[in-house]
Amino acid sequence: MKRRLRDWAPLVGLWLVVTAYYVFVISAGTFKTWHVWSAFYDAQAQALLNGHLYLPEPPSRTLLSLADPLNIANMPHWRWDHALYGGHLHMYWGLVPAFIAAAVKALVHPAGVPDNSLTFAFCVIRLVAGTLLIRAVARAASPRPPRWAVALAMVVFALANPTPYTLARAGIYEAAIMGGAAFILAGLYLGHRALTARGALAATAWLATASLSFGLAGGSRLSLIPAVAALAMLAGLWRWRQARRLHADGKQHALAPGLAALLPAGAIGVGLLITNYLRFGSLFEFGHSYTMTFPYFVGSLRFLAPDVFAYGIAPPDFTCWFPYVSAPWNTIRVSTPGWLPLNWPADHFSIEPSIGLLVATPFVALAGIAGVVAIGRARITSASLSAIGWINWLSVALVVWVLGAVPMWILNVTTMRYQQDFASALLLLAIVGGWRLLAAPQSRRGRLAMAWIYGGLAVVTIVAGVLLGFTGYFKHFDQHNPALMRALVAKLSFCR
């Protein structure tokens, strides 16, 4: 018992410290008052408790009287970011967080569950699932990474941008995105448990919970549905291959992994389609066709270069005033270096802030470096292809997650929060790749140099993430705790 306590104490301590930091950010340093940016999910939760899928708020009479209410010319009469259909207002975000909020309202907190509470909860779930996965990878790795490297990796994962930045404006957008990231990470960890379980029954149970978590991710962040479907199938395939290797008569074990991997996620998917039909009269209409918002999202390869710039290398604004680094609005186009032949399409919506991951989260560079090194050393043989372990599955799963975000890289809109759709996957790839790079050098000097690179990138990433947490989209601390911000600026600025 004491051994287990000693084993869990550092990790639980990290969770408590980071959670306290999350509270610090979301409350703008007050630890008591959480500014409510929006309460969309709470409204939808109340609608569910009232027995219907449309929102309780009725559309205005003026809006309903218009011949073409969704025409952009009628924008002054819109209920912004709502979908209008059948004389009712609806949400166009995934409904899973709304069902969670409805359960909380019914059982625990009838007063309401604003979107910042859901965002915070999803950030904590992401923290717990991600660090558990990191610890599991470290314990299964050969050779094992140094303990300091594992601990530092967990801190990087917890504090790297854009997570603190996301908490500094925890609205409906952030709640949906963080729900997707949190449940995917939970699914990856549960998938690991399925592939390391000793008994077939236990493995099937873990696989079913992983599938359920993947389904919840897609039901929270609708753009992740293709990726989570692929992840559920991938987990089932790996477990099936594992069962075949463990049992000569693999036929009797072939059905269970497939059902466990597909049924829970599939059930949530079917539920989403049914709610679509009940709300909008079509199985595949999530409400986007009836949404009152701007811009209209368009995907095209001509947006690829601007999006890669925005999410990859777009620079921040630096100043000598605390917090030294920020992401102002409407500066991405003018921040493009003159030597970069980048053509910004006129219909690319690039007003919102964004800083490239390689700039604000440079630790992710280790993912690319490790990938190049691994490809250079690869020797593909029949033996290596047959020796499939769960770590290989994790690497493939993380790549699938990153590729699932490709639609965001060809969208005519860029904004910092969209990085959450793939940043966690890149961080985990960088962590695993960084450990391999630490073990790669043969000489003591080479290992020491790699340790300094790993540690330096980690520290810069942590510091940048924390500093950006003081700003957010709308200067969160300046607006909601100006006294604290003035004190920090006075004490920590280099300008005098």
pLDDT over 90, % of the chain: 77
Buried b (16+ CB within 10 A) or exposed e, 197-208: beebeebbbbbb
Helix (H, G, I), strand (E, B) or coil at 441: coil
Summarised one tens digit per residue, pLDDT across range 15-25 is 999 999 999 99
**Peptide bond before 295: cis, by omega within 30 degrees of 0?**
yes
| Residue ranges per structural domain of the chain | 2-298+353-483
Res 384: pLDDT: 43
pLDDT in tens, 394-406: 999 999 999 999 9
Write down the mean pLDDT value for the chain.
91
Kindly report, residue by residue over 454-485, the tens digit of the pLDDT: 999 999 999 999 999 999 999 999 999 999 99
Handedness of CA 284, 288, 289, 291 (dihedral sign): positive
Following DSSP, what letter does each residue of 229-242 receive, concatenated?
Answer: HHHHHHHHHHHHHH
216-234 pLDDT tens trace: 999 999 999 999 999 999 9
pTM score above 0.85: yes
Spatial separation of the C-alpha atoms in residues 293 and 70, rounded to whole Å? 9
**In the numeric block, which tokens belong to residue 40?**
């969309």
3-state helix, strand, coil in the chain (%, to 5): 65, 5, 30
Burial class (CB in 10 A: 0-12, 13-18, 19+), 147: exposed
Mean of the pLDDT values across residues 440-457? 92
How far from 257 is each of 211, 236, 242, 270, 495, CA to CA, in Å? 11, 5, 10, 20, 61
* Dist CA 27 CA 21 (whole Å): 10
Q: What is the pLDDT of residues 109-119, one digit of tens each?
A: 888 899 999 99
Is residue 388's pLDDT more than 50? no
Q: What is the pLDDT of residue 191?
A: 95
- Amino acid identity for residue 19 in this structure: T
Give the integer Cα–Cα distance in Å for 51 and 473: 35
Phi-psi domain of 81 (left: phi exceeds 0; alpha: psi -120 through 50; beta: other): left
Average pLDDT over residues 308-323: 95
* pLDDT beyond 60 at 385: no
Q: What is the pLDDT of residues 113-155, one digit of tens each?
A: 999 999 999 999 999 999 999 999 999 888 899 999 999 999 9
Q: Which strands make up the sheet holding 88-90, listed edge to edge? A: 88-90, 82-85, 291-292
pLDDT in tens, 140-194: 888 899 999 999 999 999 999 999 999 999 999 999 999 999 999 999 999 999 9
Confidence band, pLDDT 50/70/90 cuts, at residue 387 = very low
Beta carbons of 432 and 365 less than 8 angstroms apart:
no
Do residues 181 and 424 make contact, with C-beta atoms less than 8 angstroms apart? yes
Q: From CA 494, how far away is CA 321, in angstroms rounded?
A: 6
**pLDDT recorded at residue 383:** 42
Structure-derived torsion over alpha carbons of residues 113, 117, 123, 126, reported in degrees to the nearest 10: -20
Q: Of 163, 223, 277, 271, which Cα lies nearest the Cα of 405?
A: 223
Q: How far apart are CA 358 and CA 313, in angstroms?
A: 6
Which pLDDT value is given to residue 389? Answer: 42
Mean pLDDT of 417-432: 96
Q: What is the pLDDT of residue 478?
A: 96
User: Each residue of 65-108: pLDDT tens digit?
Assistant: 999 999 999 999 999 999 999 999 999 999 999 999 999 999 99
Res 330: pLDDT: 92
* pLDDT over threshold 70, residue 236: yes
For the four alpha carbons of 398, 400, 401 and 406, in that order, the dihedral sign comes to positive
Dist. CA 94–CA 100, nearest whole Å: 12
Residue 397's nearest CA partner among 248, 203, 194 is 194
The Cα–Cα gap between 355 and 332 comes to 8
Task: Give the model's confidence band at 258: pLDDT under 50 very low, under 70 low, under 90 confident, else very high.
Answer: confident
Provide the percentage of residues in the chain whose pLDDT is more than 70. 95
The bridge status of strand 291-292 relative to strand 317-318 is unpaired
CA dihedral for 17, 19, 22, 27, sign (positive or negative):
negative
Per mean pLDDT, which range of 44-48, 251-255, 407-411, 423-427 is the poorest? 251-255
Strands 317-318 and 325-326 turn out to be antiparallel
Tell me, what's the pLDDT at 386?
39
Helices vs strands, H then E, count in the chain: 21, 5
Alpha carbon of residue 74 to chain centroid: 34
Reply yes or no on whether the pLDDT at 253 is more than 90: no
CA–CA distance, 453 with 459 (Å, rounded to integer): 10
CB 162 within 8 A of CB 420: yes
Average pLDDT over residues 290-315: 91
Instruction: Name the amino acid, one letter, at 363.
Output: F
* First CA to last CA distance, the chain: 56
The sign of the dihedral angle between the CA atoms of 189, 192, 197, 202 is positive
DSSP 135-167: HHHHHH-SSPPPHHHHHHHHHHHHH-TTHHHHH
- Residue 197 C-alpha from the chain's centroid: 27
